[in-house]
Structure 1
Amino acid sequence: MDKIYIYAAVSGIIALFFAFFLAKGISKQNAGNERMKEIAGYIEQGAMAFLKREYKYLTIFIVIVGAIIGIFLNVQTAIAFIIGAIFSILAGYFGMKVATSANVRTAEAAKTGQAPALKIAFSGGAVMGMCVVGLGVLGISILYIIFGGETSYLTGFGLGASSIALFARVGGGIYTKAADVGADLVGKVEAGIPEDDPRNPAVIADNVGDNVGDVAGMGADLFESYVGSIISAITLGSSMAVNMREKAIIFPMLLVSIGIIASILGTLVARNSKANNPQKALNSGTYIGGIIVIISTLILSKTMFGDFKAFFAVTSGLLVGMLIGKVTEIYTSADYKSVKTISNQSQTGPATTIISGLAVGMKSTVIPIILIVAGILVSFYAMGGNDVNINGLYGISLAAVGMLSITGLTVAVDAYGPIADNAGGIAEMAHLPSSVREITDKLDSVGNTTAAIGKGFAIGSAALTALALFASYAEAVKLQSINLLTPVTLVGVLFGGMLPFLFGALTMESVGKAANEMVEEVRRQFKEIDGIMEEKAKPDYARCVEISTAAALREMILPGVIAIVVPILVGILFGAEALGGLIGGAVVTGVLVAILMSNAGGAWDNAKKYIESGVYGGKGSFAHKAAVVGDTVGDPFKDTSGPSMNILIKLMTIVSLVFAPVILEYGGILLSLFK
């Protein structure tokens, strides 16, 4: 079995070498004139300064939690936790380092056409994608070999990844949206200056935010999703019948190894595509990667298990992921009805813009939920869940792995968007020809849709992975069923159902507070620094960067602590079954709120861009100002609160799994007082 894990580790190393190859190729491209390099330097300095300060906070957290795990559980799980946290940090850091190099080169390449600009931007995103899958597979493989095949310790790796993902997503999301809201409300609405105008003091902070939130934060998010799905499959596989156990543990690692090769091939297809439509170019790579995984799984399933049960389970997950992505595109792309309806409603003001956007977000939950349900049922029964329950649960975990098997591509397509957005900002601030901004705007608009699709993948996989991890938790605490007629269980369900709303409120409030500081600062600079509007004086960009940095680091702590502490408290106070109810309630509401927020936010953003293309009066019109307000509301929806929900539900589930021995020993303290 160790041989297979060595092969898997090699595939992870191949992914990292491919990321290095792409990064070197990007660094060789022309970075433009001195003004472009200066602006790109500001963005990179701001992004790196934020990461360094964030990582100082997280180092303290890692040491404290690692010590707690080592004392109350075991040293092996503590080691796995620390490695998972470090690898998550590295994935975000490497991805963002290259993204801040690719943005200015994308802007320069846009002078010669759309295809060269797309190639650089997508290559930059692919570096993040390959780092995510490479480090994920390498980490799990090495730990499995070091711990002699003891799968229970791997949950620590997942907990480390999930913990960092939550802080990175929330902290990065607060940063980027505080800057974005401040820049839009004062710059575009009040001052009437264009987006990314160099006269706007918040413009550098806004572009920095694209990197720390939408690149580093998103990378940590999907790293956590990826390793969580693999670990859930391995831990459930280790609980299966003796004649199936070894194959069940090996299968997910072989599958993700194939997924890495498929992602590399898909990346090469997408970055070299001659399609005039960027969406088609990106889709071509995704479809190629998906087809390779499906064919390989067919062969692998027959070879290892002697039947096609695993193939149907994996394929159901992969197809559900792709279909959720397509549904997300339909609700968030300006090519379809929903976004055009919001744009039309903007003609009557901000209120109707917000109403129609919320309606789109709510409606967009229906089909993804039906697809997730279909994926659960197909994967459960395909693996024989009606005969042996654990086999069916293993099938669900394979569906999650299948959905995330081409994560290298999914992340590449997602991370390309912020790079294109930054390129547009640099083009505007450096006063490049309007043709350059037209190209970067087109790439950015597609990037908004691809980002929404990436979030759809992450949310769909969160539901499947959380369910698989919950099954592992039930096995660990010997929980056969959950009785909703038991008051204590119902208490857990209600608490769990409430937590995503509390979490969403806290993160939205945090963006609001930070944005308020940013708005006041931008207004102050416009008022007190003479000559900004005439470009005779330079705004104080550094002050705005500092406001976003301080606010993000301050505000990310409470939501993160709640996600980790509440499950343990509920388990200790009310017992294992109540904690099971908490997880169930959180998964239901968390998935729905995540879809609503992500899709409504993406739709508002592209409705604004659709108006900016010239319809309903174009830029500066009444409809445009209303759409900017809608987009401003949607910013924390789609980039802070919404994406954090899927991390929340998986983090609470894996915390419950890791601390299951503690809950078994001490659970139900409060209940014992009433007996």
Structure 2
Amino acid sequence: MNSSIVLAISGAAALLFAFILAKSITAQPSGNERMKEIAGYIEQGAMAFLRREYRYLTVFIVVVSVIIGRFINVPTAICFVVGSVFSILAGYFGMKVAVKSNVRTAEAAKHSQQSALKVAFSGGAVMGMSVVGLGVIGLGLLAIIFNLNAYYLTGFGLGASSIALFARVGGGIYTKAADVGADLVGKLEAGIPEDDPRNPAVIADNVGDNVGDVAGMGADLFESYVGSIISAITLGAAAFNNNKGIVFPMILSAVGVVASIIGAIVVRTSKAENPQKALNIGTYISGILMIIGAAVVGYTTFGDFKGFSAIAAGLIVGLLIGKITEIYTSADYKSVKEVARQAETGSATTIISGLAVGMKSTMWPIILIAVGILFSYFVMGGNTDPTLGLYGIALAAVGMLSTTGLVVSVDAYGPIADNAGGIAEMASLPHSVREVTDKLDSVGNTTAAIGKGFAIGSAALTALALFAAYAQAVDIKIIDLLAPTTLVGVLIGAMLPFLYGALTMESVGRAAHEMVEEVRRQFKEIPGIMEGKATPEYATCIDISTTAALREMVLPGVLAIVIPLGVGILLGPEALGGLIGGAIATGVLVAILMANAGAAWDNSKKYIESGAHGGRNSEAHKAGIVGDTVGDPFKDTAGPAMNILIKLMTIVSLVFAPIILKFGGILLNLFK
């Protein structure tokens, strides 16, 4: 059977599974009237944000598709539109179900932890299966329509990356503006608990969990997933005279979809008491199935185990990065406990300790990524044919992302559990319910951190593979670091993640400032809020987060596209190559630092809240809240945006390679 058809069929299977899960969730009871009322606020706010965001993105899609159609070609423009629309649909489907799963998880928590885990994970799995289903259906159908033309398919990746950037940045700004505003005024100034219905920002905070950590995260991994497949197809076309190099990653991706579905079924049917254990079992089973499938498909395609070895290297590196991330960000290990201990002496030592954890946590992931790159390069024969070696690196990226369906499912489960806890608190459910949701939420924080580590590792390999595809497109064999234009490109590229981090952090700061002022105003001007006799104006806070997120996401999104094009056109293809190299090097490091430091601060606060170092309302707890507040934009806005930044710049360079090759170096030509 044609590999493109196999890919499309596997995607259809994933979407069918997602549909079945969605129906099973909506069939679950949704609790009492108060629970339904709170869940309704969250759902209305989340969907309102998506509708407004998609109006902005529609304008962007139309403008960019016209530019691509005019200056590149129409098929690439069509693929760009499809990639953009499918990325939007993945986020929409996932979040639509997530905001229905939260209240049902809270209701299920009345009965047992296993019941609550099943509902929450099923909600996350709808997001996961939508991501891989739409990704491989899109690629499969476009490959059929355009006869496996690898260059045209890069437009699909560009569409996915562009939407991912706006979704991740916009969603991240939204959620952290609400979260920071709610914590600073509610917990620190007013002294009321988290998720207290008296806090005007509490609904916006719960909405933010969905738009940032479900829709935004899903769009992030959607573009990583399709980007890895596209880079492998592009380099496979260059490395082989036949279609073997193209067919292998496509069939392998189909196997990964099946492995993810089986892993999700294992999690849903697990009887394990510990939710982390249930999630781990599903992850390991899907990984084992993927390795077996890669061995069979690799040997059938190439007659040896070279392709399988590259795939296995990527998958193993991804799993190891996830485990290392857990070690640095889980309260079960010493790093988070040390951050909590430092909170006893105040906010300053909490910040210092968390930053140290983030910096230290960069070492092993980078070593693992380096080992994966070298192994996959040489095992595919890079010592004799560099193109084959680069194809091996692309396969490692495919391997790392092969079980994306399950990775996203595990990651998206966390915000649903978090929302369930908020609903339980606001609806005054028994303390036993909150204990269950808190346990699920604690595991969700760790799974989210693992997901971010996984996304960072895959971003590095995917960006490197796309970088190699760009070099092929503009016929660059060697990048000379002694050439001044290349060195300038490296410096600009190395600077960009820091500029990008600053822009997104400042955006969160400005939006959070507006939120803090509004919450203070309501506490002051609306009598009866603190006594529970008056309902806060939740809609006003939701509107502040929505407006700020949409306003602030535009500049970072535009810069990520304009700067690489500007450098390429002004200074030439080699300078742009230097820019990509510099951005990948610093972007990966900054992403790991921010993600792990933020998660360490978050979980150290929760560790204190569990009773350590004086427990809730102690001085250590207050310092932990400050650390968590600083870490919020680190781990949920600026850090995740780095992954998309480096991939978006590489695929922009690849798609616009003909323009850069034709017009690149305008500024240099003035001096000739």
| Matched AA of 2:446 | T
Give the 5 Å matches for 1:208-287: 208-242=207-241, 245-287=242-284
Q: 1:352 aligns with which of 349, 353, 357?
A: 349
Q: 1:320 aligns with which of 317, 322, 338?
A: 317
Q: Counterpart in 2 of 1:529? A: 526
Superposition deviation, residue 29 in structure 1: 0.3
Post-superposition Cα deviations, 1:517-547, rounded to whole Å, max 9, x if no partner, equal 0000000100111110100001000000000
Superposition deviation, residue 274 in structure 1: 1.1
Q: Counterpart in 1 of 2:78? A: 79
Give the 5 Å matches for 1:335-350: 335-350=332-347
SS in structure 2 of the partner of residue 197 of structure 1: coil
Superposition deviation, residue 275 in structure 1: 1.1
1:27 & 1:619 partners in 2: Cα distance? 36
1:449 & 1:438 partners in 2: Cα distance? 17
1:380 & 1:552 partners in 2: Cα distance? 41
| Matched AA of 1:392 | G
2:487 & 2:149 partners in 1: Cα distance? 35
Superposition deviation, residue 117 in structure 1: 0.3
1:37 & 1:495 partners in 2: Cα distance? 51
Does residue 593 (structure 1) correspond to residue 595 (structure 2)? The answer is: no
Does residue 378 (structure 1) correspond to residue 375 (structure 2)? The answer is: yes
Post-superposition Cα deviations, 1:388-418, rounded to whole Å, max 9, x if no partner, equal 0000000000000000000000000000000
Q: Tell me the matched-pair count.
A: 672
| Matched AA of 1:501 | F
Post-superposition Cα deviations, 1:352-405, rounded to whole Å, max 9, x if no partner, equal 000000000000000000000000001000100001000000000000000000
2:397 & 2:6 partners in 1: Cα distance? 22
1:301 & 1:420 partners in 2: Cα distance? 39
Post-superposition Cα deviations, 1:262-281, rounded to whole Å, max 9, x if no partner, equal 00000011111111111111
Q: Counterpart in 2 of 1:509? A: 506
Q: 2:568 aligns with which of 535, 559, 571?
A: 571
SS in structure 2 of the partner of residue 480 of structure 1: coil
Give the 5 Å matches for 1:84-103: 84-103=83-102
Q: 1:617 aligns with which of 614, 618, 623?
A: 614
SS in structure 1 of the partner of residue 238 of structure 2: coil
1:502 & 1:593 partners in 2: Cα distance? 11
Superposition deviation, residue 113 in structure 1: 1.2
Does residue 434 (structure 1) correspond to residue 431 (structure 2)? The answer is: yes
SS in structure 2 of the partner of residue 194 of structure 1: coil
Superposition deviation, residue 103 in structure 1: 0.1
Does residue 666 (structure 1) correspond to residue 663 (structure 2)? The answer is: yes
Q: Which runs of 5+ in 1 are unaligned?
A: none
1:461 & 1:148 partners in 2: Cα distance? 28
Superposition deviation, residue 241 in structure 1: 3.1
Q: 1:643 aligns with which of 640, 645, 667?
A: 640
2:91 & 2:449 partners in 1: Cα distance? 19
After superposing the two structures, state which structure 1 stretch, 299-308 or 315-324, moved more.
299-308
2:293 & 2:398 partners in 1: Cα distance? 14
Superposition deviation, residue 50 in structure 1: 0.3
Aligned-residue sequence identity (percent) comes to: 75
1:325 & 1:362 partners in 2: Cα distance? 17
2:148 & 2:402 partners in 1: Cα distance? 22
Does residue 657 (structure 1) correspond to residue 647 (structure 2)? The answer is: no
Superposition deviation, residue 302 in structure 1: 1.3
SS in structure 1 of the partner of residue 2 of structure 2: helix
Q: Counterpart in 1 of 2:33? A: 34
Q: Counterpart in 1 of 2:422? A: 425
Q: 1:294 aligns with which of 267, 278, 291?
A: 291
Q: 1:498 aligns with which of 495, 499, 506?
A: 495
2:300 & 2:215 partners in 1: Cα distance? 39
Q: Counterpart in 2 of 1:364? A: 361
SS in structure 1 of the partner of residue 479 of structure 2: coil
Does residue 332 (structure 1) correspond to residue 329 (structure 2)? The answer is: yes
Does residue 66 (structure 1) correspond to residue 65 (structure 2)? The answer is: yes
Does residue 445 (structure 1) correspond to residue 442 (structure 2)? The answer is: yes
Moved over 3 A (4+): none
2:389 & 2:567 partners in 1: Cα distance? 28
Superposition deviation, residue 662 in structure 1: 0.1
Post-superposition Cα deviations, 1:256-299, rounded to whole Å, max 9, x if no partner, equal 10001100000011111111111111000000000000011111
2:222 & 2:296 partners in 1: Cα distance? 27
Does residue 468 (structure 1) correspond to residue 465 (structure 2)? The answer is: yes
Does residue 477 (structure 1) correspond to residue 470 (structure 2)? The answer is: no
1:618 & 1:320 partners in 2: Cα distance? 37
Post-superposition Cα deviations, 1:15-47, rounded to whole Å, max 9, x if no partner, equal 000000000000000100000000000000000
SS in structure 2 of the partner of residue 469 of structure 1: helix
Superposition deviation, residue 554 in structure 1: 0.1
2:90 & 2:285 partners in 1: Cα distance? 25
Q: Counterpart in 2 of 1:112? A: 111
Q: Counterpart in 1 of 2:191? A: 192
Q: 2:548 aligns with which of 539, 551, 557?
A: 551
1:241 & 1:49 partners in 2: Cα distance? 48
Superposition deviation, residue 7 in structure 1: 1.3
SS in structure 2 of the partner of residue 238 of structure 1: helix
SS in structure 1 of the partner of residue 119 of structure 2: helix
| Matched AA of 1:308 | F
Post-superposition Cα deviations, 1:413-451, rounded to whole Å, max 9, x if no partner, equal 000000000000000000001111111111111101100
| Matched AA of 1:118 | L
Q: Please, what TM-score do these two structures have when normalized by structure 1?
A: 0.99
Q: Which runs of 5+ in 2 are unaligned?
A: none
1:255 & 1:382 partners in 2: Cα distance? 18
Q: Say what the alpha-carbon RMSD is for the aligned residues.
A: 0.6
| Matched AA of 1:56 | R
